[in-house]
Structure 1
């Protein structure tokens, strides 16, 4: 797995675990939502500054975004579409 794919994999996994949409992560990070999507698909070369901003928004160390997933790890699933239900 190449570095861009690993970063995209981890970004999506962490974002979904936290219940964040791409748009919410983009707003928190100060980047464009479409850029977040391209990073998750592994089609964007991200800078260290952008990695740091995304990691900060996700409350993880930057190194977490660079950890290669296990070969048999299930692909991160997308968030369910639609608005979240209120409490």
Structure 2
């Protein structure tokens, strides 16, 4: 598995875990971040990557630093 593919899996899993921890639906996160729900589903499952700007928007909507999406504290 390529490094970028592993990174997509990690980031997607972190987005999903944080979203669930915050008791947010995919729809709520999609609306808050400006990403469509279908894109968010693909991202959470590691099937799609995002531009850094979208990751910042998602991190803001989840109220976490961007590094948290990469598993950093």
Q: State if a TM-score over 0.5 links the two structures.
A: yes
Worse-matched range after superposition: 11-20 or 1-10: 1-10
Q: CA-atom RMSD, angstroms?
A: 1.4
* Structure whose residues are more often helix by fraction: 2
Q: Which has the larger radius of gyration?
A: 1
Unaligned runs of 5+ in 1: 69-87
Aligned residues, how many? Answer: 68
Q: Kindly report which structure 2 residues correspond to 1:1-87, keeping only aligned pairs within 5 A, or say none.
A: 2-67=6-71
Unaligned runs of 5+ in 2: none
> Could you state the TM-score of these two structures normalised by the residue count of structure 1?
0.75
> What's the secondary structure of 1:2's corresponding residue?
helix
Distance 1:15 1:67 in 2: 14
